[in-house]
Amino acid sequence: MARHLITSAIPYINGIKHLGNLVGSQLPADLYARYQRARGNEVLFLCATDEHGTPAELAAAKAGKPVAEYCADMHAVQAEIAQGFRLSFDHFGRSSSPQNHALTQHFAGRLADAGLIGEVSEKQVYSNADGRFLPDRYIEGTCPNCGYDRARGDQCENCTKQLDPTDLIDPRSAVSGSTDLEVRETKHLYLRQSALKDDLDAWIDTKTDWPVLTTSIAKKWLHDGDGLQDRGITRDLDWGIPVRKGTEDWPGMEGKVFYVWFDAPIEYIACAGEWAEAGRRDAAAWERWWRTDKGADDVRYTQFMGKDNVPFHTLSFPATIIGSGEPWKMVDHLKSFNYLNYDGGQFSTSQGRGIFMDQALDILPPDYWRWWLLSHAPENSDAEFTWENFQVSVNKDLADVLGNFVSRITKFCRSKFSEAVPAGGVWGDPENALVAEIATRIQRYEACLENMEVRKSAQELRGIWASGNEYLQTVAPWSTFKTDPETAAMQTRLGLNLARLFGVLSSPFIPDASAKIVSAMRPDTPTWPGDPADFLTGMEPGDSFEVPEVLFAKITDEQREEWQQRFGGTAAS
């Protein structure tokens, strides 16, 4: 039994996320976690809310709530929505947890002792109107690289270029909108990433199976221009993890907190501690996943994230772990995704453009969204959500291919035999050919899932469904029944077993429909198929089944038009 540690990029606390956020990290991570569990492997799947920094403070102020209260409320909302999409986290934590406070301060102390943190006097933007220093994300302006007029002071979300606030053209306060800004001197701590450049470069070179997107972004940051730069890890904020050196005060850093991008990745580790505490487990339970001196040397660690998060997870977080000098588990595979755009434009959390996760669940069950998003995952390039494509995919793949097969075979059996698997007949050439084809397709499907080729795995799964439909169309048991009831019984029996097989194989993609199919076909819970020939005889003559309710209703033109108008890309409130 293999052991898989799986983490998804942790979403910001500042509001409900859109479908692009979902498919860029959490959903493919869930697909992989569900598959590995189905294969009998041990999985720890972790995610959390990223609660510190400017987004939390700004969102709380807009909501008229204290920031701690706002974060607690939004964590509950995001956890509920995650359950709505059937995201199977073993724990959904919080970066504001006591575990993350202690661990972040611990790492800072280790890095300081290793000489990898330096104190730097720097000039920082001060807003006279707001009466405070403005952290990077509190400053907006025009990106000097691409001209985007709502770039933030740390990174342009349009071109992903890393920025400093002083790089922005026509900067303004994101709090008040004031342009009455001046530059004042302050002191901050910097992680000396540049001192670890060679270590990081060598480590990345060992990752020969990483997606090109991941390694190209990491290498660009390492080598382009002046190369990897030291990065500030503290900010002048009230909300966050207080700057301490382990358990000791840090002279000169009073009133400052750690920068969100320093503490947020550490939450992956801290989240395991939260999981252990929530389940009343001792420290050994989470350390065996994260400490190579405590048993994590046999763990395979996979991260999922959008491309804008890649630099922090391939450079900054690894620099923290390497620099600590401690035996922490480092990522083995980092699966990164491009962007999902929305109907001719961009999804944008900050501007409220596109369909968001709560809205999606209001109009359709989660499997509809899971199937479309995963089968159109933006792996090799950006992808685009359109309502026309969504309608076609749902109607053809889910309703016509899978749903119709299950409905057709169960209703036929009930009408001609009973709600029990019929006896009679033996496999012939069509059945042997089908089983051979299914076996080949399952092998390809498993290989795609193992390699995290999300789109290809969806194509292979659909191909398995289609094979069953083609078989039924070819042998036509409804016609065979008129002249050879025994052969029709055998064909029907195989059809019922195919439905059961489809239910099991579909569980990583569409868990609700999978559960309905499996429940209807047989009261037991079958494991992942080994030998397809054995699995396809698992339902034996006399076993009962039910005709399940309609698995997938087709999306009508009227519904599509209504949703196009309702979610037409205008800014949402």
Q: Is 252 within the bounds of a domain?
A: no
What is the spatial distance between Cα 535 and Cα 540, in angstroms, rounded to a whole number? 11
- Same domain for 420 and 527: yes
Backbone phi, psi, residue 25, to 5°: -160, -65
Other residues' Cβ atoms within 10 Å of the Cβ of residue 567:
20
Look at residues 180, 214, 232 and tell me which one is the last residue of a structural domain: 232
Residue 265 and residue 225 share a domain: no
Contact (CB, 8 A) for 426 and 490: yes
Q: What is the largest CA-CA distance in the chain?
A: 92
Q: Are residues 174 and 306 in the same domain?
A: no
Same domain, yes or no: 497 and 402 = yes
Pair (154, 68) in one structural domain:
no
Please indicate, yes or no, if residue 566 is contained in any of the structural domains. Answer: no
The total of other beta-carbon atoms located within 10 Å of residue 123's CB is 13
For residue 521, what pLDDT is reported? 92
Residue 372 inside a domain? The answer is: no
> What residues make up the domain containing 91?
3-111+261-365
> Do residues 54 and 137 lie in contact, with contact meaning Cβ atoms separated by under 8 Å?
yes
Q: Is residue 547 part of a domain?
A: no
Rounded to whole angstroms, how far apart are CA atoms 317 and 319? 5
**Same-domain check for residues 99 and 17:** yes
Q: Looking at the structure, do residues 127 and 216 belong to the same domain, yes or no?
A: yes
Q: Which of 304, 334, 365 is the last residue of a domain?
A: 365
Domain of 32, CATH number, reads: 3.40.50.620
Contacts of 300 (CB under 8 A, 6+ apart): 2, 3, 4, 5, 332, 333
Q: What is the pLDDT of residue 572?
A: 38
**Calpha distance 571→561 (Å, rounded):** 18
> Which tokens sit at 107?
């790492």
What domain count does the chain have?
3
Residue 569 lies in a domain: no
d(CA 217, CA 338): 12
Q: What letter would DSSP give residue 165?
A: G
Q: Is residue 565 part of a domain?
A: no
Collapsing DSSP to helix, strand or coil, 30 comes out as helix
**Residue 142 marked as a ligand binder:** no
Same domain for 130 and 8? no
Report yes or no on 253 lying in a domain: no
> Per the annotation, does 146 bind a ligand?
yes
Q: Residues 266, 359: one domain?
A: yes
339 and 288 both lie in a single domain: yes
What pLDDT score does 101 carry?
Answer: 98
Among 365, 399, 423, the domain-final residue is: 365
Per-residue pLDDT 10s for the chain (573 aa) are 899 999 999 999 998 999 999 999 999 999 999 999 999 999 999 999 999 987 798 889 889 999 999 999 999 999 999 999 999 999 999 999 999 999 999 999 999 999 999 999 988 888 999 888 887 878 999 999 999 999 998 889 888 888 888 899 999 998 889 999 998 888 999 999 999 999 999 999 999 999 888 999 999 999 987 788 999 999 888 899 999 999 999 999 998 999 998 999 999 999 999 999 999 999 999 999 999 999 999 999 999 999 989 999 999 999 999 999 999 999 999 999 999 999 888 876 656 568 999 999 999 999 999 999 999 999 999 999 999 999 999 999 999 999 999 999 999 999 999 999 999 999 999 999 999 999 999 999 999 999 999 999 999 999 999 999 999 999 999 999 999 999 999 999 999 999 999 999 999 999 999 999 999 997 777 899 999 999 999 999 999 999 999 999 999 999 999 998 888 755 433
How many Cβ atoms sit within 10 Å of the Cβ of residue 534? 10
In a domain, 339, yes or no: yes
The CATH number covering residue 431 comes to 1.10.730.10
343 plus 312 within the same structural domain: yes
Q: Say if residue 529 is in the same domain as residue 391.
A: yes
Which CATH number goes with the domain that contains 157? Answer: 2.170.220.10
pTM of the model: 0.91
Annotated binding residue at 271? no
The token duo for 563 is 């949703």
Nearest to 159 by CA among 27, 346, 319, 316: 346
pLDDT of residue 573: 34
How would you list the strands of the sheet with 151-152, edge to edge?
Answer: 151-152, 139-142, 169-173
In 10 A of CB 289, how many CB atoms?
22
Handedness of CA 166, 167, 169, 174 (dihedral sign): negative
